[in-house]
Every structure is written in structure tokens, then in C-alpha cells.
């Protein structure tokens, strides 16, 4: 699969592998990890004109994304759909099924980041316009908001992506989300 953030040039994208039977709520988790988001905000998928989201309050809000598997909704190579994260900043992502017969090696994990370019925007930066201003401030040592932005986020390199670190996070996610023999009752 490939996920690309809409409206930003040069493109911020990731290519990753997930099993066809992954549920959309878990696909959301994977996209959060591979892109570098922090999962602070709501999200939704729009697939073939239908909305899938977490914990919808009514049918008008969409369908519960935890009840649908990717492979039942997305079957053909080249099919794209939309994933929106943070309805305030309105980060629109285009997700494309690039390959349907990907073969895992004997030591490969079923969820893995293969490639990508550029760092994800910081959370709550203000959408595309806020991100553009943020990047300009990071490049201009005399920008009036530079000190504020560095204090808020620290050093930010828009070209930086650490694929190995993201794969470690995906491994942790697989470990934490594995099925359990017994339910832990609190």
C-alpha cells in the first residue's frame, strides 16, 4: 500500500505492507505509525462513497471501522481511497493498493514499512497553511515565530524519515495488539 499526504509538495508518502484481513481501525493505527502522527485526533476513511470511523454515534456519522476488513472493501490493484486525520487541521491522505500479491519472506513481519519520503508535519501545526509557515520559520533564523516553534516542537527536519525506527514501532504494535488467551478483567 502507499499513503500520501494531499496538498503538500514535495510529496510526503509511505509504502507499507499490511495483511488483507486487517480491520480499518488497525489500518488507522498502522498509518499513524508509518506517517508519524501521534493519534491525538479523530479520523475517518472514505471508501467507495461510504464513511468508516471510530465509534460513530449514528448511521449518518458512518460505519464502525473496527467491523470492516480492508480486503473486503479494497480488492483491486490501483484502487485508492481517502483517509482523513484531525478534522481541525484536516490532513487528507490518499491510500492506494499498489500490490495484491506481495510475498513475505520467512522472517518478514506481516506489517512493515518499506519506503517513504519526508517527515510528517507536527501535530496541531494548523493544516497545510500552518505547515508551510512552520517550514518557512524553520529555515529563516530571523523569522518572528522561530523561537516559539522551536520551543513548541524542538528541532524539525522536513526531510527526515527513520524507516528502521518506524519498523520498530510497528513491531511493538504487533506485539501489543496480538490476541490473548484470556481477557484481562479490570
- Could you list the residue range(s) of the whole structural domain that residue 62 is in? 2-118+161-176
pLDDT at 22 over 80: yes
In terms of Cα–Cα distance, which of 163, 167, 3 is closest to 80?
Answer: 3
Question: CA separation (Å) from 124 to 27, 63, 119, 146, 160?
Answer: 22, 26, 15, 16, 19
Name 85's bridge partners.
43, 91
Residues 27 and 108 in one domain: yes
How many CA within 13 A on the CB side of residue 27? 34
Domain assignment of residue 102, yes or no? yes
* 145 and 58 fall within a common domain: no
Task: Write the pLDDT tens digit of every residue in 141-181.
Answer: 888 888 887 787 777 888 999 999 999 999 999 999 888 77
Report field, pTM of the whole predicted structure over 0.75 = yes
19 and 80 co-located in one domain: yes
Mean pLDDT of 76-95: 97
Q: Which helix (DSSP H) or strand (DSSP E) does residue 34 occupy?
A: helix 24-35
For residue range 111-144, list pLDDT tens digits in order: 999 999 999 999 999 999 999 988 888 888 888 8
Find, among 73, 19, 17, the residue nearest to 46 by Cα: 73
Q: Which residue has the higher pLDDT, 170 or 61?
A: 170
pLDDT of residue 54: 93
Note whether 32 and 78 are same-domain residues: yes
The H or E element spanning position 63 is strand 63-64
User: What integer is the mean pLDDT of 10-22?
Assistant: 96
Q: Is 40 in a helix, a strand, or coil?
A: coil
Confidence of residue 45 (pLDDT cuts 50, 70, 90): very high
Q: Is 72 found in the same domain as 26?
A: yes
User: Per the domain annotation, does 186 fall within a domain?
Assistant: no
pLDDT band at 186 (very low <50, low <70, confident <90, very high): confident
Amino acid at each position: 500500500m502507499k499513503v500520501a499526504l494531499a496538498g503538500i509538495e514535495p510529496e510526503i508518502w509511505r509504502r507499507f505492507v499490511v495483511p488483507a484481513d486487517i480491520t480499518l481501525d488497525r489500518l488507522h493505527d498502522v498509518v499513524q505509525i508509518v506517517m508519524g502522527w501521534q493519534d491525538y485526533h479523530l479520523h475517518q476513511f472514505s471508501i467507495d462513497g461510504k464513511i468508516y470511523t471510530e465509534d460513530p454515534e449514528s448511521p449518518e456519522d458512518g460505519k464502525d471501522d473496527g467491523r470492516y476488513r480492508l480486503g473486503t472493501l479494497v480488492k483491486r490493484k490501483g484502487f485508492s481511497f481517502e483517509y482523513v486525520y484531525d478534522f481541525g487541521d484536516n490532513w487528507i491522505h490518499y491510500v492506494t493498493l499498489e500490490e495484491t500479491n506481495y510475498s513475505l519472506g520467512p522472517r518478514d513481519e506481516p506489517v512493515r514499512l518499506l519506503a517513504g519520503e519526508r517527515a510528517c508535519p507536527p501535530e496541531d501545526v494548523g493544516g497545510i497553511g500552518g505547515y508551510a509557515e512552520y517550514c518557512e520559520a524553520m529555515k529563516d533564523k530571523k523569522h518572528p515565530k522561530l523561537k516559539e516553534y522551536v520551543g513548541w516542537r524542538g528541532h524539525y527536519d522536513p526531510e527526515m524519515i527513520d524507516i528502521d525506527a518506524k519498523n520498530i514501532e510497528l513491531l511493538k504494535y504487533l506485539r501489543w495488539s496480538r490476541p490473548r488467551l484470556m481477557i484481562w478483567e479490570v
